[in-house]
Amino acid sequence: MPREHRKRGKKQKKQANTEDAYPPKPVVDEAYDQNEAGPSWIVSAPRTSSEVNDEAPYGYVDAEVKAYFRTVDLQIRDWQENEHQAEAEPDADPNEDRRLFFVAALTEMSDKEKQLATDPDCSVVLERMIYSMDDFARRVFLDRLSGSLETLVKHRFASHVCQTLFATASTTIARESKGIFPPSSDSSEEGELRTLTQLILDACEELLPSIPSLVMDPFASHVLRALLSLLCPTIFPPESSHKPSTMRSKKSAAYKAKQGPLKSVFTNDAESQLVGQTIVPNEFSSIAAQFVTTLRDRLDENEVRVLAANQVASPVLQMLLEVEADKEMADEPGSIMDRVLAGLISALHEDPTAVPEPSDYVGTLLRDPTSSHLLETLISRSPEPAFNVVWDTYLKGKFARLAVHPVANFVVAKALARASPAQISQACEEIKAVAGKILKASRIGVFRALVDRAAALHSQESIVIECITTTFELSSEDDYKLAVPCILRLLPASEYRVAVEKAPKQPDTNERQAPRRRKEAEDPMEPKTQGAVLLQSMLRLESPYNEFIVNSILSLPMDELLNMAYHVTSSRVLDALLDSPTVASKSKRKFVLSLIGHYHVLVSDRIGSRVGDRCWDFADPYLREKIARSLIPHEHTLAGSFCSRFFARKLNLHLLQRNVDEWKDMQTNSKSTEQSKPQAPASRVASAPVPPTNVAEEPSTHKSQKRRRKDRTEDEIDELFDTTLGKKIKRAGLTDVEPAQVKTKSSEKKKIVEEVRDKGLKDILGAIRAAPKDDRIHSKKKRAK
């Protein structure tokens, strides 16, 4: 490098980075030092670290403390991921060591809660610990955060800690509502600890004055969602596997998923007993209404409308609209719903017959990706007069454009979900004109909403079916047979026939074990999820209107029907056929019978085996016998396949071949047991196979079989004598018997055997003799001993 390009001065050595371990010292302004000019009593106030650094408003965590909590995180994560290892030793109590570990961690966390919550590494550890905290620890933790919640909920890391604390507080509140409290401390110096119910109410009172700013904050808005869900669990049910999370953003949810399972590390925890129970204190209802009234008082109409289009504030405003409608506060002039609808409710209160002018703002909400979700809530929760005015003002005469729009079609589907019969008829007439465009754009949600609403009202089914058949070009009897393949692939009949001719031929299903068609996404013959969902809705229509769908399934060639059962998307249509209460039992039975002779191919597939389980659950004992007898030649094939072996266990073909009457009795009892059990909603994961319930019970069944072998009598002949002569003499008592007595016993046995043979029990003894040779040798060795 040339000398003239070099910089002057010494190169500064890098100093050790010790600033992160300790908080910076207070800085005193030198201009007002006592040695400088000015009176000695004028001294500037020191600027603390909270004023200097917003990332750590309560100071930095010590390096040793942070290292300790890293070990805590590793230990808890190991317990959460390897929960089954705690059950390896049934006599030991794994909770004892874990409680001692948690007591040490909570002791170390004492008086450092705010620092740990604002730390980027330790905040995740606190979230993991909250799931395993008992009621007392949660109360202490929230009590330590009280007074600083407004700062914490706005913090990047502490907001997630508060959110997790509010999300897991429902079980503790449920116990407190039942009068179950942990033992209180006897020390008078600590003071009285508030219950978690009271702590939640105080936290709401602390956050209420700053609600308008918290709604717009990117971190605090998620905490408000969790808090509203805690206050109103009946309006916002807990998250489920099939419902996307509304409490966290997509980025936050993805980060949380990387942390592994978050749950309590204590086995047989009392929280498992409160799952599904919703206990809401009366004070929670009033405090939730205060959130709505506070936002009304602090914001004007224009500010509320700005929140509707904001990506951060719109989800919170949507939840507040739900609370407002649930508390019957929406049908009031000046409500949040009235402000978003541009004064529509106020105008109806002044003149019920008035027809307000369309608002450009509401029209914008229809097509905005963010605010359209809010408009969906408005349409579904608005009062009936307001909904009718919205229908006539913003939807009537515009279905041809809105149903094709990529955003507005969701709002249209939500409006159709509560439409009247006359409105459904009107919408169908407008949608027919653009049905082809709707199908090409794959806006099938509009058709599904029409079908579901017609099924709920038991009205206008014929008009809805006519609209759908016209869309898919189904006019003749031959076209009706193609209804399921066409709707499943979202293709009109003419385009479907062309696609079938161009598609490559598949090999014969009888020559392969589990045929699977793996197609690319752009393949027109690939089943679409929207088409499968529409078919499921159509199968729930009343009997005259769903028959052409059922007949289309029954008329499919076996090769195409099996391919339909193998696909994770189209197989749900077959599930709906067997589960729908509106489909005739005769049609279901005909479908199950049509698969006889192909069940060994059907159940050899991962997805097809579940369809086979549904068919078996529906079948009566007579139909089950026909299925089982058709599978006797394929017994070894079923046992050798990974997917079909579970289905083979239900068949119990060995018992069927040995004793038909006993097999029938077993199937009758199992069928009655299945009918007495409550039917749970079917939920299947497409990514991984879910084995039947008997797989999970396999270890316990294995143990019970071992126990039965131990308890089984040592000799079958002795068991026969017990049934004829009564209780036998224990073998342990033979040591005290004289040898002469033993001989007499054996001679008596020989006589009894001869008498039994004369009485016609030769078959029983013949069955005993037909036992395996190893068992007889084993029993002889035992008798010799």
Give per-residue pLDDT as tens, 349-394.
998 888 888 999 999 999 999 999 999 999 999 999 999 999 999 9
What are 683's two structure tokens?
């939920």
pLDDT greater than 80 at residue 291? yes
The residue assigned the tokens 């001869």 is: 754
Q: Which residues pair with 27 in a beta bridge?
A: 47
Residue type at position 388:
N
The residue assigned the tokens 């016998």 is: 625
Half-sphere exposure at residue 247, Cβ-oriented, CA atoms within 13 angstroms: 23
Q: Coil, helix or strand for 387?
A: helix
Lowest mean pLDDT among 87-96, 189-198, 434-443: 87-96
Share of the chain above pLDDT 70, in %: 70
Half-sphere exposure at residue 345, Cβ-oriented, CA atoms within 13 angstroms: 21
Share of the chain above pLDDT 90, in %: 53
| Cα angle, residue 560 at apex, residues 584 and 623 outer, rounded to 5° | 40
Within 8 A by CB and 6+ apart from 508, the residues are 559
Count other Cβ atoms within 10 Å, centred on residue 694. 11
pLDDT greater than 80 at residue 267? no
Closest CA relative to residue 556, chosen from 540, 535, 542 = 535
Q: Measured between alpha carbons, how far is 624 from 595 in angstroms, rounded to an integer? A: 12
Cα distances from 213 to residues 218, 257, 374, in angstroms, run 10, 29, 19
Within 8 A by CB and 6+ apart from 728, the residues are 718, 721, 722
Average confidence (pLDDT) over 269-293:
75
Superfamily the domain 63-83+93-181+192-265 falls into? Leucine-rich Repeat Variant (1.25.10.10)
Q: Measured between alpha carbons, how far is 217 from 221 in angstroms, rounded to an integer? A: 6
Q: Which one is predicted more confidently, 507 or 732? A: 507
Q: Measured between alpha carbons, how far is 671 from 621 in angstroms, rounded to an integer? A: 8
Task: State CA 163 to chain mean position distance.
Answer: 20
Q: Which residues pair with 47 in a beta bridge?
A: 27
What are 588's two structure tokens?
């279901």
What's the chain's average pLDDT? Answer: 78
| Cα angle, residue 314 at apex, residues 308 and 315 outer, rounded to 5° | 150
pLDDT greater than 50 at residue 280? yes
Please check whether residue 292 is in contact with residue 316, taking contact to mean a CB–CB distance below 8 angstroms.
Answer: no
Query: Exposed, middle or buried: residue 739 (CB in 10 Å: 0-12, 13-18, 19+)?
Result: exposed
pLDDT greater than 80 at residue 679? no
pLDDT-derived band of residue 34, with 50, 70 and 90 as boundaries? very low
pLDDT-derived band of residue 65, with 50, 70 and 90 as boundaries? very high
Q: Measured between alpha carbons, how far is 88 from 95 in angstroms, rounded to an integer? A: 13
Closest CA relative to residue 460, chosen from 515, 497, 421 = 421
Q: Measured between alpha carbons, how far is 415 from 538 in angstroms, rounded to an integer? A: 19
| DSSP string across 606-661 | TTHHHHHHHHHHHS-HHHHHHHHHHTGGGHHHHHHSTTHHHHHHHH-HHHHHH-HH
Average confidence (pLDDT) over 550-556:
95
Residue type at position 243:
K
The residue assigned the tokens 């608002």 is: 359
Which pLDDT value is given to residue 187?
54
pLDDT tens, residue by residue, 313-331:
999 999 999 999 999 999 9
Show the beta-strand stretches assigned E in 682-748.
none
Task: State CA 98 to chain mean position distance.
Answer: 29
pLDDT greater than 80 at residue 674? no
DSSP state of 36: S
Buried b / exposed e along 256-277 (16+ C-beta atoms within 10 A): beeeeebebbbeebebeebeee
Quick check: do 63-83+93-181+192-265 and 498-676 share a fold? yes
Closest CA relative to residue 408, chosen from 370, 367, 380, 448 = 367
pLDDT greater than 70 at residue 516? no
pLDDT greater than 90 at residue 195? yes
Q: Measured between alpha carbons, how far is 25 from 60 in angstroms, rounded to an integer? A: 12
CATH code of the domain occupying 498-676: 1.25.10.10
Closest CA relative to residue 604, chosen from 507, 506, 516 = 516
DSSP state of 18: -
Domain ranges of the chain: 63-83+93-181+192-265, 498-676, 714-784
Q: Which one is predicted more confidently, 650 or 508? A: 650
pLDDT greater than 80 at residue 10? no
What are 181's two structure tokens?
């409290």
Lowest mean pLDDT among 298-307, 406-415, 631-640, 686-695: 686-695
Count other Cβ atoms within 10 Å, centred on residue 590. 13
Terminal C-alpha separation, the chain: 98
Count other Cβ atoms within 10 Å, centred on residue 68. 18
pLDDT-derived band of residue 268, with 50, 70 and 90 as boundaries? low
Please check whether residue 182 is in contact with residue 135, taking contact to mean a CB–CB distance below 8 angstroms.
Answer: yes
> pTM of the predicted model, to two decimals?
0.73
Closest CA relative to residue 128, chosen from 261, 289, 297, 3 = 261
Closest CA relative to residue 573, chosen from 550, 596, 544, 600 = 550
pLDDT-derived band of residue 164, with 50, 70 and 90 as boundaries? very high
Please check whether residue 153 is in contact with residue 98, taking contact to mean a CB–CB distance below 8 angstroms.
Answer: no
Please check whether residue 341 is in contact with residue 324, taking contact to mean a CB–CB distance below 8 angstroms.
Answer: no
> What are the backbone angles phi and psi of residue 734, rounded to the nearest 5°?
-75, -20
DSSP state of 567: S
Which pLDDT value is given to residue 29?
39
Cα distances from 703 to residues 228, 305, 549, 645, 699, in angstroms, run 48, 65, 48, 20, 6
> What are the backbone angles phi and psi of residue 353, rounded to the nearest 5°?
-95, 5
Q: Measured between alpha carbons, how far is 137 from 106 in angstroms, rounded to an integer? A: 8
Task: State CA 507 to chain mean position distance.
Answer: 38
